[in-house]
Amino acid sequence: MKFSQAMMAVAAATAMQFAASPSAEATGKMKCEAGPQSSWKSRNDLEAKLKKDGWKVKKSKVDGGCYEVYGVTPEGQNVEAYFHPVTMEKLLVAQRGKIIFKK
């Protein structure tokens, strides 16, 4: 009985966590409407620009029509960041699912 009560407490704590932090806190994939890929800037250009700005890029790919970059910010934070493939504007930065920047 005590054990089931403990489980109830854990379940309640979980529910509260979900209630307290709206699902928006998990990154939820970013969407970009950027037109045909032929008009996009290249991923290499984006990586080069980020490196110049002091980022460390571990990996990049296309996700939801945006460029998604896994890397380290100039401040040293390990993040997952989304950029617009045409304007190269920074749209969203999440540190382990916690959003630390949103346009």
Partner 1 sequence: MLRFLNALPLFWAILAIPAAVMLVTFARDPVTAFDLVHPSGEFSVRMMILAMMVSPLRAIFGRRRWLDWWLARRRSLGVAAFGYGMLHLVFYLYDMGDWGQIAEEALIFSIWTGYVALLIFAAMALTSNAASQRALRRNWKRLQRLVYPAALLIALHWIYVDGEWQDMAMHLVPLLVLEVARLIIMFNKRSGRTGQQLAPR
Binding site for partner 1 (CB under 8 A): 3, 6-7, 10-11, 14, 17, 21, 25-29, 58-59, 70, 76-78, 80, 94-98
Let me know: does 64 contact 31? Beta carbons within 8 Å: yes
Rg for the chain (alpha carbons), in Å?
18
Please say which residue, 29 or 31, places its beta carbon nearer to partner 1.
29
Phi-psi region of 36 (alpha: psi -120 to 50; beta: other; left: phi over 0): beta
Q: How far is the CB of 21 from partner 1 (least distance, A)?
A: 7
Please say which residue, 2 or 52, places its beta carbon nearer to partner 1.
2
Burial of 24 (0-12, 13-18, 19+ CB in 10 A): exposed
Q: How far is the CB of 35 from partner 1 (least distance, A)?
A: 25
Please say which residue, 29 or 49, places its beta carbon nearer to partner 1.
29
